A and B are shown apart, each in its own frame.
Chain A
Amino acid sequence: MTQDIFEAWAIPSSVVVPGATSDSAVAPELSIRSLSIESRWLNELTDILVEGSGRLKNRKARELARILGTVGSRFLKEGDPLRTKALELLPQASGLSVQMARVVLDGMAADWAEDRLLGLLENEFGTSEGLDGFVKQNGCRTMAIGADLCVQIVSGSVPGVGVTALIRSLLTKAPTLLKPGRGDVVLPVLFMQALAVVDQDLADHVAVLYWSGGSSDLERRVLDRASVVTTYGGDESVESIRALTPVTKRFVAYHHRISVGVIGSQALTSGLVEQTARDVAYATAVFDQRGCVSPRSIYVESGGDTTPQAFAEYLASALESIENDLPGGHLELEEAAALHQVRGAAELLAVSGSPGGIYHGEKASWTVIFDPDSELRSDHVGRVVRVESIENLSDLIKRLRPEKEHIQSVGVAGMGTDLDEFAEELGRIGVSRIAKFSGLPFPPPRWHHDGGSPLRDLVHWVDLEEVGG
């Protein structure tokens, strides 16, 4: 079997590529080649990035949005070699099925287009001019200043997150060192290659480097040089990066998050229930439940036209049919082992007299566990989703509370008119986004990511008060 090799780095043109590299197989036919990084070389690289900060700050934010948008939208254009290459590599590099890789790329890259980026700037700063000079705000003149070096350490569970992160910091005019996750190296590297063609100068402010996680020496070195650090990942990895980061740095943490869904009786009528199930199935399927936006548990109001258990059956058949259009991706051996565990345990619980049930796709990973009493706690692997029944809103809040620090989005359907009150209740326990299921996988670029501001969290403001002559 031939092995394709993908070179997983992009560095400023003035930096010499070190000779030594190492390969690691990510799929039977694809290996990721990464640079063997030595500390001296890394110091030189970060020096160059920091030194270039002044040049980058002299550019206009709108112009950066235009250039980044030009490159970003190439990932959407059918027939563009960049898109073709991305679609060729993604299934192997990320474990997504071919069809799903397409949906994920379309969904992620939609936010990389110029108009979306301009909208993001406007939404965050009112006007992008606040990044280019002092503007009047609340009776004072103020300016947003991006980092001298923004270090972004991103997990690999969802491809595209690395590019989104990179675009965000570049929009704030921050030279950026991005360490993508193992499953997300392809897109940022392709993005940078394409950026270098249209604007080498801008590309020279970025380094994309992959090394295997836990190299605390390398991490400490880059964190020392950064002024802003963002970390995406599981609680333990975010914790370890935070521990390595000096207190003077701004630290933006995107720790472990999950999403859930709530279905009110109005979406359970005989006319609507199948569409509701299809929407939930789509949200469940898109990232094979690996995303922070993926709904792990669906809370179904009891007393509607469709019982929660019957809804679980509708959801199972919707997941079965979506498997044809959007097949599930590859599971690692450990994930497959975990899937057998959760299925077997649910099956045993169901025959032990518990009121639950389980429906699954045999070789396909989709699995619906009806667990009305919230008995089964499991790690989620593949398209595993739990359905629970709830009596009312306070019942829901009670069930969500134990996990509240980790809940990000709530998908909703059929909630009726008291949505504001409901959303506020959810907000109070820490939820940061309420959306319809069909929109759940791909939040708009301006969203308050985990409750924060995607760009404003990366800058500091300088206020220029009236100081007289």
Chain B
Amino acid sequence: MKHSLLRPAEMAVLLAVALVIVPLLFYLPLWLPALVELMLLLRACLLLRQSRLPGLAVLLPLLALAAAGVWLNLNTLIGREGGAALLILLLGFKVFESRQQRDWQVVLALGFFLSAMPLLFDQSPWSALWLVISLLALTWAMLRLAGDIPSGSARTAVQALLLSLPLMLVLFVVMPRLPGPLWSMPHDTHTAQTGLSDSMEPGSISQLVQREDAAFSVVFSGQAPSVSQMYWRIMILDDFDGRRWQNVHGLQQETAQLQGGQLIRYRLTGKPTRSRLPLLEYPLQAPGGSGLEPGRLFRLASDSDDMVRVDASSLLGSHYRQSLSLSDQDFYRRLPPGNPASRQLAMQWRMQSQGDAGFVREALLHFRLNGYRYTLTPPLLEGDNTTDAFLFSTRQGFCEHYASAFAFLARAAGIPARVVTGYQGALYNPLGRFWQVRSSDAHAWVEVWLQETGEWLRVDPTAAVAPQRVSDGVSQTIPALQPAMPLMGSRIPGWLLPLQQSWQAAGFAWQQWVVGYDAARQLNLYRLLGLGESVDAVAVLRALLLGGGLALLPLLWWWRKRPATAPLQAGRNLLVAALQCHGITIQPSDGPLDMLNKAAHLPKDVRVLLKQLLKEYAAMRYRHAELPAKQVQAWLRQVRSFAQQARKKRQRS
């Protein structure tokens, strides 16, 4: 009997852990979570057919084989991915070895641990949602496994999670956070890098632009600069191989200084791109935990792609002066052979114009006047002379085409030049009062070094072709990129815009308060709430007492909660109230027959209905077997409508 009682509970456990590991399908090599899901399914089949389980002699070699597969695939069995891989493998094999309740409890505990694994890879609200679903399934399975509540276990699971939620929130906010990790983590080389890559070729940015996901968000302290001035620099590409620009770290150190400009302070929250921070042109000082790289770029010391929050400051519109040695100037003029027509054009402009600045003007004028088109889907550039093909035949391109072509022309004319990639622009979210930069704001432009003044000058050839790209953002410039409803394929209607903004604001708040809730933010909160000047034992204790008191309130409500009146009793009360409306007083001692007798003078239709209801009441009230809840509910509905009619009648009269 015990066995048959436990069997559905084991099913519940299997179902719960199968749910828990679903997100790992995205983060681990696909075959591994899929294999484990398959094993869980197989175990469920064995459970249904009550077949014998394979022995350890079969299981252990298979486990070793699978672990070897993981090793071959990931080259590690520790760290984030290796650990998660090994753990779900253990889960897959543990279920084949689970017979007693104790074994299944171990499986459940493993499930609880595994539900933390996807969080190591992603902390978006979706992950949190899945975590809640996982916890719900696990708690439900736990209730089933405890075996004491045969029915209503799902409701009890929801209730248990809801009641423990306030306590969890208090602990989340109050329990001290450590500023740094306990031990250094092995670096995962398999982490998929998102955002800008460290090279640029036709198509590399336009691919990125089609994604609508948030790259980072910014809060300016004080007045925000105009959108067209928001150039977020991430990477410098200084070497061209005829098709692709990349960074070969030609400059190991630089002596540069910033002159003039307007000081802008801002707080930036986002994932670094290859540990580089997108900072406003030109950043003044290194935010905490980052170092200055040549080209006025900042790189984080830690090599992770976790979300960071940094306070930074930039001198907007300042002059970026640098004295380049002759060899450095040559480095920034290097070009591969080829593209003769472009070289010729560059030389021609060089002759016509006066100085480097004149050349830049000439080139921008060329882009503006000669029918160049800004498009996300340019024709493919064939052959070796891609720059020639772009400049003279296709004349259609995205920012990477223009930046690449301009840098090529400048170098061909003997002007040191480099391509800069990053983001341009931002969208203000009035709800969350922050600026949102999305992947679609990715951009590439050029910096040229002017001999006369000895400074780097930003040149954005895309702005010459499509000025609204810089002022209004890419989605206003290319119709195909205008935010579209996924299903209807049209623009987002105006009434939905606030919704979109709320969504972004929610995402920002999520980043700020949930994912980014760290030691510093905790300290701020402690000070704000007056709990203490530092997160020490006394302050934590005080906060725990205070928060614990608040968290106990729902528990108190739960403890005090009276059970709802039995439906039959509730129905009788309703009938009594309805008869009261008709002017008939019913004593508590009156049975159904008494009630009917007292109602003898009522109109016939009312009496007939009452008689039927009372008859059903008596049948249900005085029967021995358990009543199906549906039947009682149906009766109760009828009683309600009866009582309502009686009330209406009284109001009319």
Instruction: Report whether chain A binds chain B.
Output: no
Taking beta carbons and an 8 Å cutoff, which residues of A are in contact with B? none
